[in-house]
Amino acid sequence: MAQRAVDPTPGPFFTHQIRPGQHYELSHGHAIRCAPSGGDGAGATALGAMVVGTDPAVERAGVDAGFELAPNTLRAPDVSVGVPDSRGWVHGAPPLAIEYAGSGQDESELADKIQDLFEAGTRHVWVVRLLGARRVEIHEPGQPMRTLGPGNLLHAPGILQNPLPVEALYDADAALEVTLRNLLQRRGYQELDEVREEGRAEGRAEGREEGRAEGREEGREEGREEGREEALRDALRDAIRARGFELTVEAMARLNACQDAAMLKSWLLRAVTAGSAEEIWSGR
């Protein structure tokens, strides 16, 4: 681990002096200014929060949640697992934290942040490198740092149920695929093929009742489409809630009325990456 950038002697500040919304962290009493993220980091952070937040084993994840690791240490990982729905700072440390390192990253301060998290009990810190070849650095207490690139899987036993493809932490298409899998599992399906098979079964039943070959084929096709569309609606509702966006009465009516699977998938992708609820429904 790199030498600490922060003065090792205790600083003058305590967590109760920092209010939510102020762009400061604390490390052993020393204030650290947190600069805004660039476009690549902001978009990737939203994807990371979505893919870990929808994992079936995760109750809640958050972006920039403030964790009070000690009375004079306050850290806000870019993405963290274990964020309760409560006011004020979160007491304790997240079991899994994700940091996005882009242009202007202070490497010494990042090393200090990782060390502060480990001292408080964090088990995994993943650093997503956005400059050069995309990759993820895996940091664990007492272990040498490892690096994984695209095509590899990240594991967090006891925290995440599913292995996580490296690409899902920064690539929208990969993140959408993982998010859809996670949301389907939360609904009792292992994969989209199960939803399709359920639609086929409903279609066959309809076809048998109609007793005509044409009716059977039509019923199968209709059942497949209805099953897929309903799965996409459920996934979209869950994604909107996971992002903390409001699902208005008007938006709910529009969602329920839509019978276009391509449009539902487009809305789901926007729900993963949008900065506001309004952006989800932009366009047609």
pLDDT, tens digit (0-9, with 9 covering 90-100), for 135-190: 999 999 999 999 999 999 999 999 999 999 999 999 999 998 899 888 888 877 76
pLDDT at residue 96 is higher than 70: yes
d(CA 236, CA 277): 12
What is the average per-residue pLDDT within 117-128? 97
d(CA 240, CA 220): 30
Q: Which of 36, 16, 35, 32 is nearest to 24 (CA)?
A: 32
| Coil, strand or helix at 55 | coil
pLDDT at 205: 58
Q: Which residue has the tokens 């699977």?
A: 261
Domains and CATH numbers, the chain: 15-164 (3.90.1570.10), 187-280 (no CATH)
| Coil, strand or helix at 74 | strand
Q: pTM to 2 decimals?
A: 0.71
pLDDT band at 199 (very low <50, low <70, confident <90, very high): low
Backbone angles phi, psi at 21, to 5 degrees: 100, -20
Per-residue pLDDT of 19-54, as tens digits, reads 887 788 888 888 888 877 776 777 889 899 999 999
Per-residue pLDDT of 227-263, as tens digits, reads 677 878 888 887 787 777 888 888 888 888 888 888 8
Between residues 17 and 73, the one the model is more confident about: 73
Backbone angles phi, psi at 171, to 5 degrees: -105, 125
d(CA 263, CA 195): 18
